[in-house]
Amino acid sequence: MTYDLSPEVLNLVGRVNMRRTAIVVAAAVTSFLSVTTAFATPPTGEVKFKDMARAQAMESATVPINPGDNYASGSYSVAPGGETGWRRLPGTSILAVNKGKLMLHGGEGCAAKEYATGQAAVVPAGTYMVHNAGSEPLEFFGWFFDQVPGAPKPLAEGPTASTPATCTSVMPAVAAPSGVSLTDPAVATVVPGAFDYGAKAPLQIEAGKDVYASWLDIAPGWSSGWIAHHPAANIVSSGELSYVEARDGKCDESEVYHAGQAFYHPAHRHMAFNKGNEHVILWTMYFDLPHDTPPPVIGNTITAVDFTQAPPADCPRLR
């Protein structure tokens, strides 16, 4: 479901205190909105969003941030009995299961591991096969690090890989994916950004914590207000997204990302805005969220993003 929250609804949310509270909102998209936060500098403008997945990471990983490589993402569906064939994944991949059970073959010793709805496989680089051994469709959202520019879309396109030597008696090679569909694919090239985030400290994914993927359609003139957020990998599919933050005693507005660019942000405070004439389409996967069942509608968003931030002293008039 896509939610379209007007400024009036967002401001109503902002008047709720910081304790967990449920309020009734007269909005076209929903009649109930549970929130956990208050707005110190409310967002302005129009934004639509969709929750793509929230799942508990079942493994830990250290992910380097490599400018020049690609990030890719997409929503996958695998029919009962379907499989991707053996696929070479050059970097860490996150497979967050929304429905059904995901069977992952490969890795050391050609192990097979099953992931249920609400679980996320954190897969290191290697050759793997995704298989749906269940009786209902498998649906998962995938985020793929360190993809080779120009490569086929992961798990769904291009030739399959050879069967790993340790797996020949487990799952035979297939020439093409069977029963696999990919929707909403996104891909972009990682850029270091103005402040080269991630160059000194890689992304740390912790088993037991949640990952959360979202899609945003940001209208021209929109601003997030001052926010703080969990670590996040991002793909800009259209438009131009700008950020401002307090840095070295001034408001720094030098961080701008364009369509076709991907970037990583560690947990920190800033303000995002669309000063262009086009809608910004942004895909984001947040990491290190507490494992929890969120409130409905915007519960995942306000878990990943803290909207209670006041303007920093270096930017007192910038909203």
Domain ranges in the chain?
A: 40-55+191-306, 68-188
- pLDDT tens, position by position, 286-305: 999 999 887 776 889 999 99
Residue 104 pLDDT greater than 60, yes or no:
yes
* pLDDT above 90 coverage of the chain, percent: 64
Residue with tokens 């090679």: 173
Find how far residue 269's CA is from the centre of its chain. Answer: 18
Domain 40-55+191-306 has CATH 3.50.50.60: no
Residue 27 pLDDT greater than 90, yes or no:
no
**Residue 304 DSSP code:** H
Q: Which of 26-40, 44-58, 89-103 has the lowest mean pLDDT?
A: 26-40
- pLDDT: which is higher, 183 or 25: 183
Chain mean pLDDT for the chain = 85
Nearest to 301 by CA among 245, 242, 232, 235: 232
pLDDT (0 to 100) of residue 152 = 94
Q: Is 45 exposed, middle or buried (0-12, 13-18, 19+ CB in 10 A)?
A: middle
Residue with tokens 């609804």: 9
Residue 32 pLDDT greater than 60, yes or no:
no
Could you tell me the pLDDT band of residue 65, with boundaries at 50, 70 and 90?
A: very high
Strands 178-190 and 261-265: parallel
- Count the neighbouring beta carbons within 10 Å of the beta carbon of residue 22: 11
Which amino acid is residue 24, in one-letter code? V
- pLDDT tens, position by position, 85-98: 999 999 999 999 99
**Would you say 42 and 227 are in contact if contact means Cβ atoms under 8 Å apart?**
no
CATH number given to 68-188: 2.60.120.10
- pLDDT tens, position by position, 110-148: 889 999 999 999 999 999 999 998 999 999 999 999 999
pTM above 0.85, yes or no: yes
Residue 108 pLDDT greater than 60, yes or no:
yes
- pLDDT tens, position by position, 150-182: 999 999 998 899 888 888 666 666 767 889 999
Q: Give CA separation, 184 vs 29, 50, 215, 282, in Å.
A: 22, 12, 10, 12
Tally the residues of the chain: 319
Residue 10 pLDDT greater than 50, yes or no:
no
Which amino acid is residue 41, in one-letter code? T
Question: What are residue 284's DSSP bridge partners?
Answer: 214, 234
